[in-house]
C-alpha cells in the first residue's frame, strides 16, 4: 500500500508532466500552422520585396525542422512586374554554425533562374530568408554560403550576356567584403557541351551595386561564336572553334576582357576587321592565343603563335599604301605580340607565292615589270616595329612562251635609289629579262643582297639585249640602310591607322 503523501506526490508529478507535454505539442502544432499560413507567406514576400526594392512572391513555407525551413515557388519580378528577374522552385534554409560564426546559416536553391547583376548575389540580398522566422528582428548578416543545383544562370553586363543552363555550384560569403562563386554546367548560351563548362566569379559590394572583380570561364572546344566577343569589342569573330579560358574584370580603368586558349578554323578577315583599315583575308587552321586583352571595347594586346594559310598579300600591302597587289602568304608564326603601339614582336617563317610583279610594280607607282614572284622566308624577326632580322630567297618563275620585261625607267630608278647604280641615260622603253633572283639578309634594318646566278652566283638580273643574255645587275658590294624608307613606311601606316578604334601610332 502506497502512503497517502506519496500518492499525492505521484498525482501531482503526472499532472505536471501531462501539462508540459500538451503545452509542447500545442506550441509545436501552432508554430507549424503559423509558418504555413497565408499571413506568414505574405509577410515573407513583403520583406523580400522591401529588401530588393522589387515585387516578390513566395508560394509557400514548409518547416523542415526546428532549424530549417523551405520556401517554395519564389519569384522576384522586374519593376511593374513586366518580367521575372529570379525564380526558384525551392529555397531551403538551414542552421549551420561554424567556429568562426556560431550563428551561420546556409541556403540551398533548386530548379530556378537568376541573373548575376547589380540586383543579385549580394549577401544582403538573402536577408529576407534570415528575417523570415529563424532570427527575430533585423539581422544584417546573410547566409555563409548558397548552394544551388538545376539552375539556369545569366551573367549580363550590357551588351554582353553569358548563359549557363542546368548549372550547379556554390556562392560563398565567408569574407565580409567579398563573395566567391563557382559553377559547373554542360550547356553554354544554349549549346550542349560534351565536356563540362566551369565558371569562377569573385565580386564585391559597391555603393552602386556590385563589382565583378574577376569572372573566369573555362570551356572545352566549342564554337567561338558562343563567346559573343562581338558584344565586347570590335573583333567580330563568328566562325571557328575555341577551347580555353575567358576572363572578365571590372577595373577602375574600365571593363577588361582577356582570352587565352586554342582557336581552330578562324577566318582571318573576322579577326582583323576593325583592327586594320583593310581587313586581311586568310585562314587560321590552329592558333594558340596566349593573350587577347580588350579594355572598354578597344583591343590592347594580342599574343599568339600558330599557322596562317592563304593570307592575301594584297590586303597586307593595302594597309601600307600599296593597293592592287596580289599573291598569297603562308606563315608559321613562332611568336607574335601586338599592342596599341604596333608590332611588339614577330618571329615567323613561310612563303609568299604567285605574286604578280606587274600588279606590285603598278601599286608602287615607279613603272611596270612583269613576271610571277615567289618568296621563301627562312627567318623573320620584328621587334618594336623594327625589322631586326630577315633571311629570304626571291625568284621569278620561268616566263614560258611570253617573255618577261621591265620598263627602262623603272630599272633606272630602282637601281639608282636602292643600289646607287647609274645606268646609261638612254634605255629601251621595255627590256626583256631572262633571270631575276636574289637572297636578302637584313640585320637591324640594314640589308645585304646576294645574287642567284651568273659567275660565282653574284648576278641578280640578267636581261636580253640584241639577242644575247647580259647580267646587268650584280650583288652590291656594300650594305643598304633601309631605315629611312622604313621610317616613311611606318609614318604612313600610322597615319592610316588614325581612324581605327584602339589603334595608336606605330613607333620605333
Q: Read off the pLDDT of residues 167-219 as tens digits, 9 standing for 90 and up.
A: 998 877 767 677 788 889 988 888 888 889 998 988 777 665 667 788 898 98
Which H or E element spans position 379?
strand 372-383
Beta bridge partners of 241: 223, 264
Of 391-395, 438-442, 476-480, the poorest mean pLDDT is in: 476-480
DSSP per residue over 315-343, as a string?
Answer: HHHHTTT-TT---EEEEEEEEEEEETTEE
**pLDDT at 500 (0 to 100):** 54
How far apart CA 157 and CA 146 sit, in angstroms, is 23
- For 278, what's the count of Cα atoms within 13 Å in the CB-facing half-sphere? 19
- Whole-angstrom distance, CA of residue 316 vs CA of residue 268: 12
Question: What is the average pLDDT score of the chain?
Answer: 78
Task: Note the pLDDT tens digit of each residue in 316-362.
Answer: 888 877 888 999 999 999 999 988 888 899 999 999 999 999 999 88
pLDDT value for 105: 67
Residue in the structure block whose three cell numbers are 565583378: 212
Beta-bridge mates of residue 394: 375, 438
- Residue 7: per-residue pLDDT: 43
Angle at 113 between CA 108 and CA 118, to 5 degrees: 95
Residues 227-268 have pLDDT tens digits of 666 665 566 788 899 899 989 888 888 888 898 999 999 998
Q: Who wins on pLDDT, 227 or 300?
A: 300
Amino acid at each position: 500500500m502506497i502512503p497517502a503523501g506519496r500518492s499525492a506526490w505521484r498525482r501531482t508529478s503526472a499532472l505536471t508532466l501531462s501539462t508540459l507535454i500538451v503545452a509542447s505539442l500545442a506550441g509545436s502544432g501552432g508554430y507549424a500552422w503559423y509558418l504555413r499560413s497565408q499571413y506568414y507567406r505574405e509577410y515573407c514576400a513583403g520583406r523580400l520585396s522591401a529588401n530588393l526594392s522589387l515585387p516578390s512572391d513566395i508560394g509557400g513555407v514548409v518547416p523542415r525542422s526546428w532549424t530549417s525551413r523551405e520556401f517554395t515557388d519564389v519569384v522576384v519580378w522586374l519593376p511593374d512586374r513586366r518580367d521575372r528577374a529570379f525564380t526558384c522552385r525551392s529555397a531551403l534554409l538551414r542552421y549551420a554554425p561554424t567556429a568562426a560564426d556560431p550563428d551561420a546559416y546556409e541556403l540551398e536553391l533548386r530548379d530556378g533562374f537568376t541573373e548575376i547583376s547589380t540586383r543579385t548575389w549580394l549577401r544582403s540580398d538573402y536577408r529576407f530568408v534570415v528575417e523570415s522566422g529563424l532570427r527575430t528582428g533585423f539581422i544584417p548578416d546573410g547566409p555563409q554560403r548558397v548552394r544551388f543545383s538545376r539552375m539556369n544562370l545569366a551573367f549580363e553586363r550590357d551588351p554582353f550576356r553569358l548563359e549557363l543552363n542546368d548549372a550547379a555550384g556554390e556562392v560563398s560569403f565567408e569574407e565580409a567584403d567579398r563573395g566567391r562563386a563557382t559553377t559547373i554546367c554542360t550547356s553554354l548560351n544554349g549549346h550542349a557541351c560534351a565536356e563540362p563548362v566551369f565558371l569562377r566569379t569573385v565580386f564585391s559590394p559597391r555603393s552602386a551595386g556590385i563589382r565583378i572583380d574577376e569572372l573566369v570561364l573555362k570551356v572545352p572546344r566549342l564554337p567561338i561564336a558562343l563567346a559573343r566577343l562581338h558584344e565586347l569589342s570590335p573583333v567580330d569573330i563568328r566562325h571557328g572553334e575555341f577551347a580555353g579560358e575567358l576572363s572578365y574584370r571590372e577595373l577602375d580603368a574600365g571593363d577588361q576582357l582577356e582570352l587565352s586558349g586554342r582557336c581552330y578554323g578562324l577566318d582571318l578577315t573576322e579577326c582583323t576587321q576593325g583592327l586594320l583599315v583593310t581587313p586581311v583575308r586568310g585562314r587560321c587552321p590552329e592558333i594558340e592565343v596566349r593573350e587577347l586583352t580588350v579594355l572598354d571595347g578597344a583591343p590592347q594586346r594580342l599574343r599568339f603563335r600558330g599557322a596562317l594559310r592563304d593570307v592575301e598579300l594584297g590586303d597586307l600591302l593595302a594597309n601600307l599604301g600599296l593597293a592592287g597587289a596580289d599573291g598569297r602568304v603562308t606563315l608559321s608564326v613562332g611568336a607574335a605580340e601586338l599592342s596599341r603601339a604596333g608590332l611588339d614582336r614577330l618571329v615567323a617563317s613561310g612563303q609568299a607565292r604567285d605574286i604578280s610583279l606587274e600588279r606590285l610594280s603598278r601599286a608602287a607607282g615607279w613603272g611596270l615589270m612583269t613576271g610571277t614572284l615567289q618568296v621563301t622566308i627562312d627567318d623573320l624577326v620584328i621587334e618594336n616595329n623594327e625589322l631586326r632580322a630577315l633571311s629570304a630567297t626571291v625568284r621569278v618563275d620561268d616566263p614560258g612562251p611570253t617573255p618577261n620585261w621591265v620598263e627602262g625607267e623603272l630599272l633606272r630608278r630602282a637601281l639608282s635609289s636602292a643600289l646607287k647604280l647609274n645606268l646609261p641615260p638612254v634605255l629601251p622603253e621595255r627590256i626583256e629579262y631572262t633571270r631575276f633572283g636574289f637572297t636578302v639578309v637584313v640585320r637591324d634594318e640594314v640589308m645585304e643582297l646576294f645574287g642567284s646566278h651568273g659567275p660565282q652566283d653574284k648576278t641578280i638580273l640578267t636581261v636580253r639585249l640584241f639577242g644575247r643574255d647580259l647580267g646587268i645587275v650584280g650583288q652590291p658590294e656594300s650594305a643598304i640602310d633601309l631605315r629611312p624608307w622604313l621610317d616613311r613606311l611606318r609614318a604612313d601606316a600610322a597615319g592610316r591607322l588614325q581612324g581605327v578604334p584602339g589603334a595608336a601610332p606605330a613607333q620605333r
